[in-house]
Amino acid sequence: MTVRVRFAPSPTGFLHVGGARTALFNWLYARRAGGTFLLRVEDTDRARSRPEHTQAILDGLAWLGLDADEGPVFQADGVERHRRDALKLLDQGAAYRCFCTAEELAARREEAKRAGAGYGYDGRCGRLDAAVSDARAAAGEPFAVRVRAPEEAIEWEDMIHGTMSFPAGSIDDFIILRSDGTPVYNLAVVSDDAEAGMNHVIRGDDHLSNTPKQILLYRALGRPLPAFGHVPLILGSDGKRLSKRHGAMSVLAYRDEGYLPAGMVNFLALLGWSPGDDREVFDVGGLIEAFSIGRVLKKSAVFDLEKLGWLNGRHIADAPAVELAGAVVEILGREAREEGRDLSETHPGLDSSPERLARIIDLVKGRPRTLSALARQVSPFFAATIRYDEDAVKRFWKRPEEAAFHLRRLAERLAGEAAFRDVQTLESEVRGLAAELEVGAGRVINPLRVALMGQGVSPGIFEVLEAMGRERTLARVLAAARALDAWIATA
């Protein structure tokens, strides 16, 4: 049997983290088994479905690399088949016409509520004589179609939760075709999944209560049952259901914030799944190899932004520099344009010396957690002018006279070509100066880092010096000393 699975989003919003995780689990399951992954857009709710949402979902899946083997198919295109399936059940006697009006049903629901009882349809139209039912329909009386609920419990072996059981009487005779002729959601899903030969249905826990109804419909339609697996909810770090306040909900917002698809996919995979050992960093191939639905946890997953940042940082560090270069050029280019300038003015050489850019990216990529942070670290190596980060200044230039003095002494010491021979020589020059000044190396290195990078963080300072080169280093160090003078004068 070839595995056939699907992702079936409703286009009522963007692709959110929960939906993306469901899509990913289905996709991994299919890829692992060499099966087929189908995409079905459930657009039958005309009032809430929007083409721009469909597009946003497709864009989100494309960004994550979750390619569909079949589809997208659109649920609304199947509405005639949905109706035929409902009428087939009516013909077979598995369903019946219900002539109860909305007002009557509402009144009975009210009554049940007043009596403190749960409400379920009492099945009265199911007991109508067939001839009576036919006559009322022939006379033009509007009716809905209800399926007959079973006498016995409905059970299934859930791929994630194990045996699930809904006791007899927990499902009432529910409507499958409304009196206006529109099929209900559960019927449409079963009709579509059966038609497309889906043999595994993996979806969110929020669909658990739909599953017994759907099983009932499969049986009534005489279609083979798929295996069901219900993926647990995603909670925020405060234990509440994931919502906007826990971070961006749309996966594309993470793209815009500088996360890599590989980092996001890795993070989503670990939301409720674990490989069973302590591995955490996976590329997509590794995930396909390691994924098993049996290792999806029953308990809710917790959305941890900190973890996403860390994983993304690992993926940035592992990515070849050439793959990151485009993003860096784009981010710094966008920033330049926002200031009404051109990248070749703000960062001369950045997009015309790919080899140097790649070397710089390799130097800095071990630390940043997002592409924007990566761009911030690359920027000083090309920037025409440097901006000093306020926090870094407060922390590392807190003794401005001393910082200016150390920087000037350093400029003297590094003035000769020889100092820049290699990283070791640079290190011994800087440490040598600190020894001569009888201060800890940090009192020279920290002001130097701010002078060169404008920031309080960087890769190893001696590698930074080498990558900056002699000319740029001396210019930066002296410019910083002058900035400190000016600052002292006005303080």
The answer to whether the CB of 252 falls within 8 A of the CB of 14 is yes
What size, in residues, is the chain?
491
Is the CB of 184 or the CB of 343 nearer to ligand GLU?
Answer: 184
Is the CB of 207 or the CB of 413 nearer to ligand GLU?
Answer: 207
Instruction: Return the range that interacts with ligand GLU (CB under 6 A); candidates 8-16, 336-344, 393-401, 411-419.
Output: 8-16
Q: Is the dihedral of CA 85, 89, 91, 97 positive or negative?
A: negative
**Cα separation, 266 vs 290, whole angstroms:** 12
The DSSP call for residue 148 is P
Return the residues of window 21-60 that contact ligand GLU according to CB under 6 A: 42
Is the CB of 78 or the CB of 126 nearer to ligand GLU?
Answer: 78
**Can you tell me which of 3, 5, 8, 15 binds ligand GLU, judged by CB under 6 A?**
8
Instruction: Return the range that interacts with ligand GLU (CB under 6 A); candidates 3-11, 30-38, 293-301, 331-339.
Output: 3-11
Is the CB of 6 or the CB of 314 nearer to ligand GLU?
Answer: 6
**Cα separation, 324 vs 317, whole angstroms:** 10
- The whole-angstrom distance between residue 130's C-alpha and the CA centroid of its chain comes to 53
Residue 130-169 contact track with ligand GLU, rule CB under 6 A, x = bound:
----------------------------------------
Return the residues of window 465-484 that contact ligand GLU according to CB under 6 A: none
Instruction: Return the range that interacts with ligand GLU (CB under 6 A); candidates 5-13, 310-318, 407-415, 437-445.
Output: 5-13
207 binds ligand GLU (CB under 6 A): yes
**Cα separation, 356 vs 372, whole angstroms:** 19
Is the CB of 10 or the CB of 36 nearer to ligand GLU?
Answer: 10
Residues 6+ apart with CB under 8 A from 261: 63, 64, 65, 255
Nearest one of 255, 385, 391, 248 to 331, comparing CA atoms: 255
Instruction: Return the range that interacts with ligand GLU (CB under 6 A); candidates 4-12, 135-143, 173-181, 343-351.
Output: 4-12
The answer to whether the CB of 75 falls within 8 A of the CB of 42 is yes
**Cα separation, 73 vs 89, whole angstroms:** 25
Residue nearest to ligand GLU (CB): 203
**Can you tell me which of 3, 5, 10, 351 binds ligand GLU, judged by CB under 6 A?**
10
Is the CB of 211 or the CB of 377 nearer to ligand GLU?
Answer: 211
**Cα separation, 330 vs 118, whole angstroms:** 59
**Can you tell me which of 4, 9, 392, 466 binds ligand GLU, judged by CB under 6 A?**
9
The answer to whether the CB of 288 falls within 8 A of the CB of 28 is yes
Query: Least Å distance between CB 7 and ligand GLU?
Result: 7
Using CB atoms within 10 Å of the CB of residue 387, give its burial: 0 to 12 exposed, 13 to 18 middle, 19+ buried: exposed
Per 3-state DSSP, what percentage of the chain is helix, strand, and coil (rounded to 5)? 55, 10, 35
Which position among 88, 213, 240, 244 bears the catalytic label? 244
**Cα separation, 361 vs 366, whole angstroms:** 9
Helices (H), 258-364: 261-269, 284-290, 305-318, 321-338, 343-346, 354-364
Is the CB of 213 or the CB of 376 nearer to ligand GLU?
Answer: 213
Q: Is 244 one of the annotated active-site residues of the chain?
A: yes
189 binds ligand GLU (CB under 6 A): yes
Query: Least Å distance between CB 192 and ligand GLU?
Result: 9
Query: Least Å distance between CB 10 and ligand GLU?
Result: 4
203 binds ligand GLU (CB under 6 A): yes
Which element (helix H / strand E) includes 144?
strand 144-147
| Binding residues with ligand GLU: total (CB under 6 A) | 7
Place of tokens 């349809």: 121
Catalytic positions: 244
Binding site for ligand GLU (CB under 6 A): 8-10, 42, 189, 203, 207
